């Protein structure tokens, strides 16, 4: 007796999504959610491309104080997000 197992789709089986469409969608979501994205230099280039601010830890800590939106999305290690929250207690930091 044999049983056929379904084959999980691979990334090549996934529908193609135009990166520019995704960037437009992310920009629209940033506006809708009143969010700013900060990304550390060691994050993937695609993340840095959509970020409003990029830099090292010190630069991003300084940049976080300039953010005017109600939400900060931080692409970096946990302590960087904690620093952004300490410097912006009234904001939501993700």
Q: Assess contact for 63 and 88: CB atoms under 8 A.
A: no
Note the pTM of the prediction, 2 decimals.
0.78
Cα–Cα distance measured from residue 24 to residue 2, given in angstroms and rounded to the nearest whole number: 47
Q: Which helix (H) or strand (E) holds 12?
A: none
* Tokens coding 14: 């996934």
Which range has the worst mean pLDDT, 3-7, 10-14, 48-52?
Answer: 10-14
**Measured distance CA(38)–CA(51) in Å, rounded:** 6
Per the DSSP assignment, residues forming a β-bridge with 59 are none
Confirm if 67 and 88 have CB atoms less than 8 A apart: yes
Give the model confidence (pLDDT) of 21-58 as tens digits.
889 999 999 999 999 999 999 999 999 999 999 999 99
Give the position of tokens 């969608």.
Answer: 25
Report, at the CATH architecture level, how domain 33-93 is classified: 3-Layer(aba) Sandwich (3.40)
């Amino acid at each position: 007796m044999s049983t056929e197992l379904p084959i999980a789709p691979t990334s090549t089986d996934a529908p193609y999504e135009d990166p520019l469409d995704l960037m437009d969608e992310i920009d629209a979501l940033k506006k809708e959610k009143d969010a700013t994205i900060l990304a550390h230099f060691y994050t993937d280039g695609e993340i840095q491309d959509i970020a409003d601010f990029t830099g090292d830890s010190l630069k991003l800590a300084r940049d976080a104080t300039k953010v005017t939106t109600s939400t900060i999305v931080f692409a970096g290690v946990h302590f960087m997000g904690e620093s952004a929250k300490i410097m912006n207690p009234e904001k939501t930091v993700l």
